[in-house]
Amino acid sequence: MKTEIRQKFIVANWKMHTTSFEAQQLSKSIVEGIAAPDHVTVVLCPPFPYLPIVGDMLRGSRVALGAQNVYPEAEGAFTGEVSPTMLLDLDCKYVIVGHSERRHKLGESDSFINRKVVCALASGLDVILCVGETLEQRQKGQTEAVLDRQLSTGLAGVRPEVLSHLSVAYEPVWAIGNDEHHATPQQAHDTHLLIREKLSQMIGATWSGELTVYYGGSVEPGNAAAFLGQEGIDGVLIGGASLKADEFLAIVNAGILETEAEMQRT
Ligand code: 13P
């Protein structure tokens, strides 16, 4: 369970970017540049091969390590895959599951994503489950049905005792890395309310209220505060802007300011 002050979460998804040297430099700049590390939770999710390098840079800091994917088995003949046990062995605390790029470019199904969620949570990782509709689905008025399916199938069989290790990221596919289509903070707010409503039906109002829900999709220094200031948005999941230390740190600062504003209000 969280404390009364809801710290903002700022998660960097580096996707398939950086070299080993860049990963080291970027994580170093981020660790050194966070103004008030205890007022925000920051997570870096580098590509698999760079987890140990980034993990070394994060050791002793308050910045956590996360992975972008996981395979839902502890070990075995699964060529090219990475298990939850391996991620834990490298000091990963978080894992992103069901990112839209894995759903739409790599063909992951809701039921496969569900296996990952259940296995990663049971193994002791904190899971960030990504959900979100495509532009076509939004235009056809299917957003609610899509989110309903992704959440109900994605979270099937998740045991109540691991819910404190689960969070959900709303990432509308049409707003990810897209200069043309941006979700407005109001659209993000409205969809977050919908997600919490669904979660409330599935896991009860108390857990649904406690759960961290992120927004992701072209978040940058210029709009981060507007998203983070919306009721129901506890954090942001950042792709492109997380690859530049100054931009990412500006977003982290927006998170710190929002957490501090919350502290003033309570
Ligand atoms: P962008 O911030 O590049 O739109 O990516 C968002 C995302 O996919 C984070 O997981």
* Higher-pLDDT residue of 181, 251: 251
The topology under which CATH files domain 8-265 is: TIM Barrel (3.20.20)
SS3 track for 119-155? HHHHHCCEEEEEECCCHHHHHCCCHHHHHHHHHHHHC
Give the tens place of pLDDT for each residue, 169-203: 999 999 998 777 889 999 999 999 999 999 999 99
CA 265 – ligand 1 centroid, Å? 30
Q: What is the pLDDT of residue 36?
A: 85
Q: Closest ligand 1 atom, CA of 241?
A: 2
- Look at residues 110, 98, 207 and name the one whose alpha carbon lies nearest to residue 161: 207
Give the tens place of pLDDT for each residue, 42-77: 999 999 999 999 999 999 999 999 999 999 999 999
For residue 2, pLDDT over 80 is answered with no
- Look at residues 200, 192, 244 and name the one whose alpha carbon lies nearest to residue 216: 192
240 Cβ closer than 6 Å to some ligand 1 atom: yes
Percent of the chain predicted with pLDDT > 70: 98
CA-closest residue to ligand 1 atom 1: 239
- pTM of the model as a whole: 0.96
Judged on CB neighbours under 10 Å (0-12, 13-18, 19+), 266 is: exposed
CA 231 – ligand 1 centroid, Å? 21
Strands 8-13 and 126-131: unpaired
Residue 31 φ/ψ region, left for φ over 0, alpha for ψ in the -120 to 50 degree band, beta for the rest:
alpha
**At 76, is the secondary structure helix, strand, or coil?**
coil
CA-closest residue to ligand 1 atom 5: 239
Residues written for the chain? 266
Residues 6+ apart with CB under 8 A from 122: 159, 162
Percent of the chain predicted with pLDDT > 90: 89
CA distance 124 to 189: 30
∠188-190-196 over CA atoms, to 5°?
A: 100
CA distance 81 to 50: 15
Question: Does the active-site annotation cover 171?
Answer: yes
Give the tens place of pLDDT for each residue, 107-155: 999 999 999 999 999 999 999 999 999 999 999 999 999 999 999 999 9
Compute the half-sphere exposure of residue 209: CA atoms within 13 Å on the CB side of its CA: 5
CA 264 – ligand 1 centroid, Å? 30
Token pair for residue 62? 């308050």
Question: Does the active-site annotation cover 133?
Answer: no
47 Cβ closer than 6 Å to some ligand 1 atom: no
Q: Domain map of the chain by residue range?
A: 8-265
Mutate to test the pocket of ligand 1, among 238, 247, 248 (most ligand atoms within 8 A of CB): 238
| Amino acid, single-letter form, for residue 171 | E
Q: Residue 156's pLDDT band (boundaries 50, 70, 90)? A: very high
